[in-house]
Structure 1
Amino acid sequence: MTDTTLPYDIEQAVRERYEAGARQPQASLCCPTDGYDSRYLEILPQEIIEKDYGCGDPTRYVNPGETVVDLGSGAGKNCYILAQKVGATGKIIGVDMNDEMLGLSRKYLLPMSEKLGYENVSFVKGKIQDLALNLDSVQQWLEQHPIHSVEQVAAFEAECDRLRQSQPLIASDSVDVVISNCVLNLVRPQDKKQLFQEIFRVLKRGGRAVISDIVCDEPPTEKILNDPELWSGCIAGAFLENEFLEMFEQAGFYGIEILARQTEPWQVVDGVEFRSLTVQAFKGKQGECLERNQAVIYRGPWKSVQDDDGHTLYRGERMAVCDKTFQIYTHPNGAYHSEIIAIEPYEEVPYESATAFPCVGDTIRDPRQTKGANYRMTTDSDDCCSSSQSCC
């Protein structure tokens, strides 16, 4: 979606709709979500549950001890669920730009910490497409430096840049998981590329994004796009289903996977179907390629598969890969682990002596490279089969 000439202010429409949603529950706002684990809902204030507006449950994919950022945290439901899941060693940061929603979520910080027995949640004011800029700090500066001239506008912009650099709202490479629940579609079309870049920036290497959002099966019509109620209602800004996944790929993610997809559409408008989709994507394929004599075997069931970097794995074949790709394929919490058999070299190649691996084309790894050219071992099968732990 690239149209930036809509006859209304998207951010104002969204702000006003969610301000109203913070004051009074709005059943029609976004897609009702079932399936949350009831154990995590028991201690949540009823007001937070009533004023939650989402379309999925990304919280189920978060693990104990992780640091999590929730984009568009709203009333705080997902954050307070995650506070229980990650435990005292984890950390939850909710990001929202709506003062009404921030006031609602922050109101329960102390009561919830008392119930939990620890404090691991904070709510900060910022735009999810600009996670470096703390809008509370910006507001404080504006109160001391009101703008009355073009020169003062320049000073304001310089201060914003300084804050991004010296006091970022969310630091680069600092987060294990970024989640969001039906919020990315509310961002202006011209800001969506930056939005995905920001998600990528704040994640640690090996971190992941788990995003639930509304997608559509064909482009929204002009009638849909020109209706501010449909934008703030999570319709007009919906991603095309295939383009949603492509946005992750373009930002540098790998292992992009659809975790959940609503079978029946949530809404149909002008013949366009809108439904919820939950996607997971990983950060960490960047970096140099080193030869350490590793190989991987794709288990199947497909005859062959291709990864995000164009590597083709053929079922049952020992495929040569660089160390970086080997680590990505075999990480126990990664996207590929269950599909891959790891073949380690018999003698480890130290990183300091590893040479560059030519990550161009697909090469079958000769077993001699894995075992070593001087490998001449002979084993006695009788010894194996006569033992108490038979291998026959």
Structure 2
Amino acid sequence: MTENVTNQKQLYNVEASVLERYQAGAKEVQPSLCCPTDYDKNYLEIIPEEIIQKDYGCGDPTLYVSQGETVVDLGSGAGKNCYILAQKVGAEGKVIGVDFNDEMLNLARKYQSEIASQLGYYNTKFFKGKIQDLQLDLDLAEAWLQQNPINSMEGLSNFEAQCDLLRQEARLIPDNSVDVVISNCVLNLVRNADKKQLFQEIFRVLQRGGRAVISDIVCDEDPTQKILNDPDLWSGCIAGAFREDNFMKMFEDAGFYGIEILKRQEEPWQVIDGIEFRSVTVRAYKGKEGVCLERNQTVIYKGPWKQVQDDDGHILRRGERMAVCDKTYHIYTNPNSPYTQDVIPVPPYEEIPLDSAEEFNCKRTAIRHPQETKGRDYNLTVVNSNEGDCSSSSCC
């Protein structure tokens, strides 16, 4: 990956700067941390004002979550998004907040029982962890540290070994375990050296077919060295902002597909040294891994573009019957797919069982002959018996 920002070094401790700023934000409202966002007031009615005032974000990824889903909120802060989600996913769903800041975690947990009592069910959990390392439960790591204080290199080595053990045996968020990962203006607070791992962790915890919905700050040019070396601009969601094209590529490089911008702030939130910073909300899906099988399935791209290319390199030409493998066919045609509105599915007349399907070469772009769909022996003649009567539903 070629991202200039990633390779530049900061001259201070980014994590310490961010932690200090947001600890202060948990105690006293910090208006400069907010990018104005409208939320559905119906979901705010049961949330205490203290949480609403001390929540900082730049979008509303909760809009894209459904009932019954399990959701992880990265950098959950005071808990506002989690408590909105608690209402949206309902009693059958689950909401997990992850944050590194004790002050914010205490504030979020403070009202858990009260909000659960109003809802009539308890479906939220808040964990201490780094969002770029969703394997390590920091509450468990700190509990070990209290029993085993570090005062030597040997002690440090033992602690690191214990952390590795916790990642294996008491993983904070298990692999392939959640439907949705959201985040609201937090990914930019992770130091650049850890951002690749951050996207890999988001991908790891999502189950097949799951999705990430991320609201964050992007910029139209790389931040200058002057911006990168300003601790206030780091904790203020500026210095760590993704260049807008690289933000999309981070999802692509992690293995996501169907990546789309759901919302982009028209006017920049801030302009510094001629560089524009604005909020975007992006959605990306997991699930294009796996074997490609030939089951004679076809899709027709509706248009309006003459042709389009997906994340696996498949080219779909407008109006043409394009051959796809079973995996790609279901990715395109699933009701929750980002592609479903753009393609017409053409299933085979006779289904090929999975256990007898041969391997399909997904690297090729091929037009599917109609006889492959209908079958070589298909030789019917059907005449419309309602001649002159176009009131029949069979008449076009």
Residue identity in the other structure for 1:390: S
Match of 2:167 in 1: 164
- Partner SS state of residue 193, structure 2: helix
Distance 1:384 1:298, change over 3 A: farther
Unaligned runs of 5+ in 1: none
Match of 2:349 in 1: 346
Unaligned runs of 5+ in 2: none
Match of 1:148 in 2: 151
- Partner SS state of residue 22, structure 2: helix
1:357 and 1:383 mapped to 2: Cα distance? Answer: 42
CA RMSD of aligned residues (A): 1.2
1:380 paired with 2:377, answer: no
In the alignment, is the contact (CA less than 8 A) between 2:300 and 2:316 conserved in 1? Answer: yes
Match of 1:102 in 2: 105
5 Å matches for 1:295-374? 295-374=298-377
Deviation (angstroms), 1:145: 1.2
2:303 and 2:185 mapped to 1: Cα distance? Answer: 34
| Alignment TM-score, normalising by the size of structure 1 | 0.98
1:145 and 1:5 mapped to 2: Cα distance? Answer: 33
In the alignment, is the contact (CA less than 8 A) between 1:385 and 1:391 conserved in 2? Answer: no
In the alignment, is the contact (CA less than 8 A) between 1:30 and 1:182 conserved in 2? Answer: no
| Alignment TM-score, normalising by the size of structure 2 | 0.97
Tell me the alpha carbon deviations over residues 11-38 of structure 1, each in whole angstroms, 9 at most, x when there is no partner. 000000000000001101141212x111
* Residue of structure 2 aligned with 1:6, choices 6, 10, 21: 10
2:270 and 2:258 mapped to 1: Cα distance? Answer: 29
Deviation (angstroms), 1:156: 1.1
Match of 1:40 in 2: 43
Tell me the alpha carbon deviations over residues 271-313 of structure 1, each in whole angstroms, 9 at most, x when there is no partner. 1100001000000000010000000000000010000111100
1:327 and 1:167 mapped to 2: Cα distance? Answer: 34
Distance 1:299 1:384, change over 3 A: farther
Match of 1:26 in 2: 30
1:353 and 1:386 mapped to 2: Cα distance? Answer: 45
Deviation (angstroms), 1:4: 5.2
User: Bigger shift: 151-160 or 381-390?
Assistant: 381-390
- Partner SS state of residue 338, structure 1: coil
1:267 paired with 2:270, answer: yes
Match of 1:230 in 2: 233
Tell me the alpha carbon deviations over residues 193-218 of structure 1, each in whole angstroms, 9 at most, x when there is no partner. 00000000000000000000000000
State, as a whole percentage, how many aligned pairs show the same letter: 67
1:17 paired with 2:21, answer: yes
Deviation (angstroms), 1:361: 2.1
In the alignment, is the contact (CA less than 8 A) between 2:386 and 2:392 conserved in 1? Answer: no
Deviation (angstroms), 1:379: 1.4
How many pairs are equivalent? 391
1:252 paired with 2:255, answer: yes
2:215 and 2:184 mapped to 1: Cα distance? Answer: 5
Match of 2:290 in 1: 287
Residue identity in the other structure for 2:20: E
Deviation (angstroms), 1:391: 2.2
Match of 2:393 in 1: 390
